[in-house]
Amino acid sequence: MTQVACSSLLEGVRKSGGVVVVVDVYRAFTCTSLLFSFGVKRSILVATPEEAVALKERDPCLLLIGEVDGKPIEGFDLGNSPSQILRLGPEHFLGRTVVQRTSAGVQGVLMAMERAEEVLLGSYTTAKATTQYISSKAPPVVSIVAMGKNMKEQTPEDEWCARYLAYLLGAGEYDHREALREILFAKQTQKFLRGDKPYYPPEDPVLCLQRDIFDFSLQARREGELVVVRKRDPGWADHDRCVSR
């Protein structure tokens, strides 16, 4: 039977093991899932803006996406905003490779890669597909880590999404009405709804809180010197087991 453990922030990543799901609802992994739904081939995760810029110098076709402390990064193509991605539409992303740098989710994945058997990206948009993939593998240990604000402060959207993932795996309870009540009136959501900062558009929470709208999970793996995210469609876990025999 799979043991499911939920934790938070930097310390949670440090203590994680087994299959690790790194949760970032606002907004990194909602962006990633939307990008893959629009046909990107892969997402490269980097720790610093400088790493992203260096990659683009070698390959000008790369799209740089991300933020530092919520703010868009000078020289990047896009900020960390799913509504900005949605507005551009699939024709802007089909077949492209993106590079993502964010202050919580991406950093958490990079740290988790050092100790986990497997690392998955967690958000509301891919929650059911992610847990279906995990269940098909039946690992002994699953660690779900809510990354919060800059890996230092718990946020309700990540904490509740972690609970939702655990619930789908058969561990604990989940009440989406209570989740929305806490999330919508929290400061992390209100900063979007005020509409006073263009890099926090009010449309972003609408997208980030959509449950189970994509039928794929997102897995991070090392490919040479890079940490690369690729889409895993339903049935891949069964395929992996067949190949390994």
Task: Give the three-class secondary structure for 186.
Answer: coil
Are the C-beta atoms of residues 130 and 165 closer than 8 Å to each other? yes
Name the residue with higher pLDDT: 128 or 241: 128
Q: Is residue 242 part of a domain?
A: no
Question: How far is Cα 113 from Cα 7, in angstroms, rounded to an integer?
Answer: 16
**pLDDT tens digit sequence for 10-43:** 999 999 999 999 999 999 999 999 999 999 999 9
- Per the structure, the complete domain to which residue 147 belongs is given by 3-237
**pLDDT tens digit sequence for 132-151:** 999 999 999 999 999 999 99
Query: What is the predicted pLDDT for the residue at 240?
Result: 52
Burial label for 211, CB within 10 Å (0-12, 13-18, 19+), is middle
Query: What is the predicted pLDDT for the residue at 245?
Result: 32
Query: What is the predicted pLDDT for the residue at 207?
Result: 98
**Region 108-128 average pLDDT:** 97
Q: Which amino acid is it at 222? A: R
Q: pLDDT tier at 236 (50, 70, 90 boundaries)?
A: low
**Region 70-82 average pLDDT:** 98
Share of the chain above pLDDT 70, in %: 96
CATH assignment at residue 151: 3.90.1560.10
Share of the chain above pLDDT 90, in %: 94
Query: What is the predicted pLDDT for the residue at 235?
Result: 61
Q: What is the pTM of this model?
A: 0.95
Q: Is residue 8 part of a domain?
A: yes
Question: How far is Cα 105 from Cα 22, in angstroms, rounded to an integer?
Answer: 7
The count of domains in the chain is 1
Question: How far is Cα 197 from Cα 192, in angstroms, rounded to an integer?
Answer: 8
User: Which long-range contacts does 189-192 make (Cβ < 8 Å, 24+ apart)?
Assistant: 189/26, 189/157
Question: How far is Cα 118 from Cα 137, in angstroms, rounded to an integer?
Answer: 11
Q: Is residue 93 part of a domain?
A: yes
Q: Is residue 245 part of a domain?
A: no
Q: Is residue 243 part of a domain?
A: no
Question: How far is Cα 156 from Cα 212, in angstroms, rounded to an integer?
Answer: 18
pLDDT of 241 > 50? The answer is no
Query: What is the predicted pLDDT for the residue at 244?
Result: 37
CA 218, 57, 108, 157 dihedral sign is: negative
Mean pLDDT, the chain, integer: 95
**pLDDT tens digit sequence for 149-203:** 999 999 999 999 999 999 999 999 999 999 999 999 999 999 999 999 999 999 9
Q: Is residue 55 part of a domain?
A: yes
Q: Is residue 63 part of a domain?
A: yes
Q: pLDDT tier at 233 (50, 70, 90 boundaries)?
A: confident
Q: Is residue 118 part of a domain?
A: yes
pLDDT of 111 > 60? The answer is yes
